[in-house]
Structure 1
Amino acid sequence: MKRIFSNLALTAGLLAGTQAGAADLFQWQSNSLTYLYGKDFTVNPQIQQTVTFEHADAWAYGDNFLFVDKIFYNGEADANLGANTYYGEISPRLSMGKIFGQKFEFGPITDVLLAMTYEFGEGDSESYLIGPAFDLAVPGFDYFQINFYQRHTDGNRAGDNVWQITPVWSYTIPVGKSDILIDGFIDWVVDNDSNAQGTYHANLHFNPQIKYDLGKALNLGAKQLYVGIEYDYWKDKYGIKDSRFFDSDQNTASLLVKAFF
């Protein structure tokens, strides 16, 4: 799987090299920092503070998204990870419409893409995901995409070769002189995998953010400073089946402050 990712990265680089210059390659980018404070998490310690760096961009042959979480456990250390940990994902997508210079549109579909994700962090959390993706035109939404992934691990743990469906969306609601932004994702792993190391159970992670554009309300600039909440529902978290002996169903919300730069 690592070789597949390396070959795709090389192909993207060669395609990029055919362009006249950076102005033709890069279309836009966005960077932000988010602070979260929440309680009632499961599996890991109940109280958590998280600082998240996010980057998103579009370029001549697709788009990229990445984030890195630094997670602090308040008053209780994780048995495996200690008082804090980190987790991140890198998600490049290659656009068929951009690569071939023609429209891949039918019905609500506005583009067809090859989506990839690399998951990393402390502990046994490294995974590689790859599969088809579709950008959709859904009335009212700023954007809506759906990604289909086949998950791959190093083969020494459960969760290898299972399918995941990941919708991602953004929706803006005007409110007075400002806006409420509702965006987020769903990670739905649809099947199980078992091996000598254990069982990875099908699971559903629903993670929207509801944010008020405080910067716009205070005349400091739109889409610069948000406050709100992040809701986090995770059925059978980490693929651990919930039971009366061990609670792995997560249902919590965190206070949020997010700044773009």
Structure 2
Amino acid sequence: MKKKTLPLLLMGAGLVSGSVCAEELVQWHTNSLTYLYGKNFKVDPSIQQTFTFEHASGWSVGDLFLFVDQINFNGKGANDGDDDRTLYGEFSPRLSIGKISGSNLAFGPITDILISMTYEFGKGDTEAYLIGPAIDLAIPGFDYFQLNTYLRTTDGGRPGDNVWQITPAWSYTIPVGRSDLVIDGFIDWVVDNDKNSRGEYHANVHINPQIKYDLGKALGWREKVYVGIEYDYWKHKFGIEDGGYVSEQFVGETNQNTASLLLKAHF
């Protein structure tokens, strides 16, 4: 881990140590594996197969979400060099002010106030560190709705340093016959531009919902097994201006608009 992550870890460790004695640390957790197949991706090769491990859990001091993608490429793109696969992941703990203080912070639709953090990692020059305030909202019909804001920090002064990002995340369940249709996902909206000696990073928006049917529930299985699609819209993907460059190489179109077939199993 880089030195700039230490303050985040130390702060989290101190808050955890003061709260663990009061109640059980881990309150709930779930894991899943997902397979995706899609075409028409931009910047990276256009055909991709993705295997994803996800973990989500609730803690006595907040919550945690993490995922790791292995992305297999078919063909070549502007941003992949000679690799036919890559790894990418995010580690996202959130500290609940309400849980840690033992206070009820509910106000109107707001149910809690949190400190949200994310560490982005992958092959090559991809590390980023995010921290900022967040709120949880009670919106009728939604299973959950989070609104996270972050200040992004990158290593080595690469583009995308010291810019703000807004990330809502949600889940909505619709009963369908003997089962459910679940619509969940997130939006990453980076609101600032950043121009430095290593290039220019453009404001961008990434909309990534999954629309999936609980086949496991329909068949009477114990575990959740979903089939559906993942929609992926990304304006100025990776902060690259549409028609722009990566490492002096012309990229062309970076506005991504595609969907992937999805199979997801929880365990």
Q: TM-score normalised to the size of structure 1? A: 0.94
Between the aligned partners of 1:20 and 1:8, the Cα distance in structure 2 is 21
Please give the per-residue CA displacement for 1:93-135, whole angstroms capped at 9, x wherever unaligned.
Answer: 0000001000112121110000000000012110000000000
1:38 paired with 2:38, answer yes
Tell me the secondary structure at the aligned position of residue 21 of structure 2: coil
Please give the per-residue CA displacement for 1:72-105, whole angstroms capped at 9, x wherever unaligned.
Answer: 0124476426000000000000000001000112
Paired positions, count? 259
Between the aligned partners of 1:177 and 1:219, the Cα distance in structure 2 is 9
1:7 aligned residue: 7
2:258 aligned residue: 252
Between the aligned partners of 2:3 and 2:83, the Cα distance in structure 1 is 33
Between the aligned partners of 2:155 and 2:193, the Cα distance in structure 1 is 16
1:219 paired with 2:220, answer yes
2:247 aligned residue: none
Between the aligned partners of 2:163 and 2:34, the Cα distance in structure 1 is 31
Structure 2 contact 50–70 (Cα < 8 Å) conserved: yes
Between the aligned partners of 2:184 and 2:196, the Cα distance in structure 1 is 36
2:126 aligned residue: 125
Larger deviation: 134-143 or 99-108?
99-108
Q: What is the Cα deviation at residue 156 of structure 1? A: 2.4
Tell me the secondary structure at the aligned position of residue 216 of structure 1: helix
Between the aligned partners of 1:54 and 1:24, the Cα distance in structure 2 is 22
1:16 aligned residue: 16
- Within-5 A mapping of 1:97-246: 97-221=98-222, 224-243=224-243, 246=252
Tell me the secondary structure at the aligned position of residue 157 of structure 2: coil
Between the aligned partners of 2:89 and 2:52, the Cα distance in structure 1 is 9
Q: Which AA in structure 2 matches 1:94?
A: L
Please give the per-residue CA displacement for 1:155-182, whole angstroms capped at 9, x wherever unaligned.
Answer: 4211100000000000000000000000
Larger deviation: 244-253 or 161-170?
244-253
Q: TM-score normalised to the size of structure 2? A: 0.92
1:68 aligned residue: 68
Between the aligned partners of 1:215 and 1:116, the Cα distance in structure 2 is 33
Unaligned runs of 5+ in 1: none
Between the aligned partners of 1:148 and 1:79, the Cα distance in structure 2 is 30
Q: Which AA in structure 2 matches 1:6?
A: L
Q: Which AA in structure 1 matches 2:91?
A: I
